[in-house]
Amino acid sequence: MRYRLLAAVFAVSLAATAQTLSVRELVSFLQSSEQLIKEGKQTDGEVAKYLAKVRLTERLDDRIIEDMQGLGIGAKTLQALQALRDRTKDLMEAKPIAPQAPPAPIPPPSSEEQAAIIADVREYALNYSKNLPDFICTQVTRRYAAPMPGTRWGGSSMSEPRWQAEDVLQIRLSYSLQTGEKYLVVLANNTIVNKDYSQMGGSKSFGEFGSMLREIFEPSTEARFEWDHWGTLRGKRVMAFAYHVSQSRSQYRLVVEDAKLSIITAYHGLVEVDPDTHVVMRVTTIAENIPPDFPIRKAEDVLDYDYTDLSGHTFLLPLKSQVLMSGGDVLTRLDEEFRLYRKYSADAEIKYDADPLPPLPDDKTKETPTPNKK
């Protein structure tokens, strides 16, 4: 970072007086200059003009110039470097520029620490629903379908699915400890529906408010946990644990309503945990060993939680769920977002507009690598 900052200062000033640089400093300058050119803050000609005034303390050879060409330097910069090479042919050879060693990775918690963390998360998961307040919110469900990549209409097997929007449901979701979750579809696209979600056709998903977590961590489930990686969600570091649940202990059910078929499968996934509070920020579920003759061939679910204010108190509540399923030559995707949380009361209501709330930005649910430092 220091080299980049220094080079950026060089690039901005492009001083008229001659600069004396080592080959390493020249390389750092060019790396930053190419970034500034991409951002429109500098031109190829300005860089070349600056290089014409540079004095090097070491010989510039063709290997370094070839490396710089790999950065995508402009034609004028290339000519200036070739001229600089010719001017330095009688100088001593530059020391090899060794790549910077990456920082040491953050070590995982010890096995004893991991066991204690999983025990804390288990207690949290088993009591999660009990600690929720009574509330209502809007669940916005966007449903998509796409031809399976590798099929006649889906393009090559390596291509991304060509998603087509099917509908947008606005659902009044209410929760209480006594009655659990209740889903009332208020609008489907711009049409008033007022129908129970379970009575709607198409792909559906239930259980985001605690049942998924509880089933993973129930002692009778006998899920196996092991360390996976450090990650970052919404700017905060998380610990990711891989887990697996066998079919004999599973409660993960796939249902095909039209054919009146259902199965319970084994599943695995990740539980991503706040390292300070040991609460769950994300849980993924992937069904496995689905029988080959069952209509659903793949089922995956990613559920994100985030902190939400309810009447002056902060709770960790579902933010977004994405469910992917495949059957035959078709993929389906459900993007479910949980918005406008309100504490439940007899007169608590939410206004439903014909135009639903816009989708959450990707950075709200995209995991990023954690820097290799403590």
Give the number of other Cβ atoms within 10 Å of residue 4's Cβ: 13
pLDDT of residue 97: 64
- The Cβ of residue 235 has, within 10 Å, a number of other Cβ atoms equal to 7
371 pLDDT higher than 80: no
134 and 257 in a single domain? The answer is yes
Residues 224 and 296 both lie in one domain: yes
> What does the pLDDT look like over 289-322, one tens digit per residue?
999 999 999 999 999 999 998 878 899 999 999 9
Nearest to 352 by CA among 192, 141, 175: 192
Q: Are residues 236 and 169 in the same domain?
A: yes
Instruction: Give yes or no for a contact between 246 and 238, defined as CB atoms under 8 angstroms apart.
Output: no
Rg (CA), the chain: 28
**∠ CA 136-137-141 to the nearest 5 degrees?**
140
Looking at the domain assignment, is residue 329 inside a domain?
yes
Instruction: Please tell me whether residues 53 and 128 are part of one structural domain.
Output: no
Domain assignment present for residue 97? The answer is no
Q: Please tell me the total count of domains within the chain.
A: 2
Alpha-carbon separation of residue 170 from 193, 207, 332, 342, 367 (angstroms): 10, 17, 18, 16, 27
Residue 298 CA to residue 149 CA, distance in Å, equals 14
Q: Which residue has the higher pLDDT, 352 or 271?
A: 271
Q: What is the per-residue pLDDT across 157-216, written as a single tens digit (0 to 9) for each?
A: 778 889 999 999 999 988 887 888 889 999 998 888 889 888 888 877 776 666 888 999
pTM above 0.75, yes or no: no
Residue 61 vs residues 4, 13, 79, 181, 271: alpha-carbon distances, Å = 22, 26, 14, 70, 51
**Is the same domain home to 64 and 206?**
no
Q: What percent of the chain has pLDDT above 70?
A: 87
Looking at the structure, tell me whether residues 122 and 80 fall in a common domain: no
How open is the CA angle 88-90-96, to the nearest 5 degrees? 70
How crowded is the C-beta side of 32, counted as CA atoms within 13 Å? 19
Q: Which domain holds residue 77?
A: 2-87
Start-to-end C-alpha separation, the chain: 18
For residues 358 and 256, membership in a common domain is answered with yes
**Secondary structure (3-state) at 72:** coil
pLDDT higher than 60, residue 8: no
The pLDDT of residue 210: 67
Distance of CA 55 to the CA centre of its chain: 46
Same domain, 283 and 219: yes
d(CA 306, CA 313) in angstroms, rounded, equals: 14
Angle at 4 (CA atoms; ends 96, 6), nearest 5 degrees: 100
Please report the beta strands in 126-260, taking only residues with DSSP state E, as ranges in sequence order.
135-147, 164-176, 180-188, 191-196, 224-233, 236-245, 252-256
What is the number of other CB atoms lying within 10 angstroms of the CB of residue 175? 20
State the pLDDT at residue 18.
52
Tens of pLDDT, residue by residue over 135-160, are 899 999 999 999 988 887 777 877 88
Same domain, 154 and 202: yes
Tell me whether residue 106 is in a domain. no
How big is the chain, counted in residues?
Answer: 374
Examine the pLDDT at 15 and tell me if it is beyond 60: no
Cα–Cα distances (Å) from 67 to 72, 270, 372, in that order, read 9, 40, 26
Q: Is residue 265 part of a domain?
A: yes
* Residue 286, helix vs strand vs coil: strand
122 and 27 co-located in one domain: no
Same domain (yes/no): 148, 284 = yes
Q: What is the pLDDT of residue 201?
A: 83
Q: Find out whether 177 and 134 touch, Cβ atoms under 8 Å.
A: yes
Let me know whether 79 and 121 are in one domain.
no
Residue 98 belongs to a domain: no
- For residue 101, being part of any structural domain is answered with no
Query: What CA–CA distance (Å, rounded) separates 215 from 192?
Result: 35
What confidence score (pLDDT) does residue 11 get? Answer: 39
Q: State residue 32's pLDDT score.
A: 84
Residue 59 has pLDDT above 70, yes or no: yes
- 94 within some domain: no
